[in-house]
Amino acid sequence: MRSRAVGSPRNGLPEVVLVQGMAVADYLLPGLTALGQWTRAHLLELPGFAGSGEPPHPLDVVEYGDAVAAWLDATGLGRVVLMGHSSGTQVAARAAARHPPAVRAVVLASPTIDPRFRGWVRLLIAWRRDGRREPPGLNESHMPEWKRAGTRRLVHTVNIHLADRLEDAVPRLGVPVLVLHGDQDRVCTERWARSLAEQARDGRFASMPGAHTFPWADPHAWSGPIRDLAGELA
């Protein structure tokens, strides 16, 4: 799997590993750069997407989580803050639940998939509504990565995330969980985001300005809450 890193390790602070969203990763680079101002931060691209190689077979969410955990073991980063954005939250949660020694905390930014939208039609409608609140140019920035993934893989990716229930994984997490929700998000409701924080053994919630892809619109918005969480772990 390809990863891109910014920043430098800081004494006492865990490194951050960010899992890509639904078939796309480049839009998270500005937010990654913001995290790299206070620790070393890594953007991880899942097998079959962005700059990573092909998987041996079509993977489900749990298998993507296992791939993330294997990468963590191979890199020897120590226990990290593992975070995901959008569908990456499901992969990050599965990785942390199945391989707890690699993770000190989990961050779920714009988590998916809200039960209210757990179906192709409902999810598409929510995504289109959210798109009206996103900055211009977002979808255009996704096009090269969507094209590389191809229609068949995109459909498979949506299906496996629709089948996965993030709310089943969160209560199994034995580390602090921070849920971040954009106040204009139309793909994830605030009610569900707050419920995830409440289901966690050690959960907390923070509201961010913006829609579902708030880290692209305001890369520094999430840096403060994540830095505070990392500081608690120092």
Output the domain CATH number for residue 153.
3.40.50.1820
How many separate domains does the chain show? 1
Give whole-number Cα distances, 197 to 35, 171, 206, 224, 230, in Å.
22, 9, 10, 18, 17
Asked whether the beta carbons of 90 and 112 are under 8 A apart, the reply is: yes
pLDDT for the residue 226 = 98
**Where does the pLDDT of residue 136 fall: very low under 50, low under 70, confident under 90, or very high at 90 and above?**
confident
Tokens of 213: 């892809």
pLDDT tens, residue by residue, 45-64 = 999 987 788 999 999 999 99
Strands (E) in the chain, as ranges, are: 3-6, 16-19, 41-44, 80-85, 103-109, 177-182, 203-208
Arithmetic mean of pLDDT, 23-42: 96
**Where does the pLDDT of residue 234 fall: very low under 50, low under 70, confident under 90, or very high at 90 and above?**
confident
Q: Which of 212, 208, 211 is nearest to 223 (CA)?
A: 208
pTM, entire model:
0.95
Q: Taking 80 as the threshold, does the pLDDT of residue 140 lie above it? A: no
Q: Taking 90 as the threshold, does the pLDDT of residue 12 lie above it? A: no
Q: Which domain holds residue 56?
A: 3-233
**Where does the pLDDT of residue 144 fall: very low under 50, low under 70, confident under 90, or very high at 90 and above?**
confident
Q: Taking 90 as the threshold, does the pLDDT of residue 198 lie above it? A: yes
Arithmetic mean of pLDDT, 111-119: 97
